[in-house]
């Protein structure tokens, strides 16, 4: 058993930086710090940036999904459904409880950010993150030193231990609330917003600024029959939406933007400040607790907030020389191709 596998039993916080302490599961052992805007998670301004946009793995569907074939997805599309959330009850976490632990590699400040990101879910939805117990199904936060990926995770509950990977490279700012919440939305059961089958009613795609393969893998408007939008409108400000320059050939030219009648929403596309009200509403619809708050289904899209002061996050590409983390930590690699067979999503 390697160090990270042992972490569930003996991973005490052994980091020297940060101002708060955590026990071996990442649970705070001192009073929780005040978190600015912990519950101010409407479609909000942008506060996180990934500087590089011109890094991508062309082998992956949508640039960040492992274990999926474009042809298979194309053959399973149902164009009459508007969707980005899983409907299969087996892919949902039982009673909305997600057991977790934080593996070694994160300093105390980073552990606190992870806990704060989870707190937003617990305070506004019926999702509850629970320090690891005897439940065989759980998530583990794992630190990486990769410059090619910011974060990645599986979509929905797959069974067994699922890993949420976060890069801890100092200048990348990947261990931020918005990045973590994006990955946790995948864990809860949601895909990217702009993949909805009705997206062409709301956004335009500029193919001239995309490599053909990038368009095929990153900008298909697909809707597998297993997913739904729960009656919610298209959400430009979702924490699951691409930015306007996502996968651009030159890092700056637009690749996706609102249609003219929706132009006022351009400033919030790609935000990683926090969950939007529609994100919250969808979670509560998926887990059947609408009384917890957020937007309500079958309502018009609310107006956007004031323009942000910082640029939206840009999805990263990964270089051809990079490799996935493999070995004893990767489960269900039944075909021995060096990649887990479950879906992983890289931001």
Query: Which residues does the annotation mark as catalytic?
Result: 183
Crossing angle of helices 108-124 and 177-188, in 10° steps, is 50
Angle, helices 177-188 vs 277-286, to 10°: value is: 30
Residue 297's Cα: distance from chain center in Å?
A: 22
241 is in an annotated binding site: no
Sole residue written with tokens 């708050």: 293
Quote the CA–CA distance of 34 and 309 in Å, as a whole number.
Answer: 23
Distances (CA, A) of 337 to 66, 260, 340: 12, 45, 8
Q: Whose CA is closest to 137, among 103, 163, 102? A: 163
Bridge partners, residue 258, by sequence: 203
Q: How many CB atoms lie within 10 A of CB 82?
A: 19
118 in Cβ contact with 166 (< 8 Å): no
Residue with tokens 């003996």: 10
Q: Any binding-site annotation on 342?
A: no
Check the annotation: does 192 bind a ligand: yes
Please give the annotated binding residues for Zn(2+), written as ranges.
Answer: 182, 186, 192
Please give the annotated binding residues, written as ranges.
Answer: 182, 186, 192
């Amino acid at each position: 058993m390697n160090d990270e596998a042992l972490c569930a039993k003996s991973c005490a916080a052994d980091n020297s930086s940060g101002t708060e302490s955590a026990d071996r599961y990442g649970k705070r052992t001192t009073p929780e710090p005040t978190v600015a805007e912990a519950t101010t998670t409407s479609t909000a301004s942008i506060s996180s940036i990934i500087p590089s946009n011109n890094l991508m793995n062309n082998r992956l569907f949508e640039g960040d999904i492992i274990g999926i074939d474009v042809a298979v997805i194309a053959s399973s599309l149902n164009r009459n459904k508007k969707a980005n959330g899983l409907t299969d009850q087996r892919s949902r976490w039982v009673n909305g409880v997600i057991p977790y632990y934080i593996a070694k590699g994160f300093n105390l400040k980073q552990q606190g950010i992870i806990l704060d990101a989870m707190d937003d879910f617990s305070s506004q939805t019926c999702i509850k993150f629970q320090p690891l117990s005897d439940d065989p199904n759980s998530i583990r936060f794992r630190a990486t030193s990769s410059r090619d990926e910011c974060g990645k995770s599986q979509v929905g509950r797959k069974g067994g231990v699922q890993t949420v990977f976060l890069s801890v490279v100092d200048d990348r700012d990947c261990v931020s609330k918005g990045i973590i919440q994006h990955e946790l939305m995948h864990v809860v059961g949601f895909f990217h917003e702009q993949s909805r089958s009705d997206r062409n009613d709301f956004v335009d795609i500029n193919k001239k600024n995309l490599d053909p393969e990038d368009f095929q893998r990153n900008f298909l408007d697909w809707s597998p029959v297993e997913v739904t939008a729960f009656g919610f409108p298209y959400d430009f400000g979702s924490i699951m939406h691409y930015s306007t320059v996502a996968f651009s050939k030159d890092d700056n030219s637009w690749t996706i933007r609102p249609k003219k009648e929706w132009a006022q929403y351009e400033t919030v596309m790609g935000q990683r400040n926090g969950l939007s009200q529609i994100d919250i509403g969808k979670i509560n619809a998926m887990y059947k607790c609408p009384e917890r708050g957020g937007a309500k289904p079958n309502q018009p899209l609310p107006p956007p907030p004031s323009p942000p002061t910082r640029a939206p996050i840009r999805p990263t590409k990964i270089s051809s020389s990079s490799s996935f983390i493999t070995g004893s930590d990767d489960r269900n690699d039944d075909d021995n191709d060096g990649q887990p067979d479950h879906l992983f999503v890289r931001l």
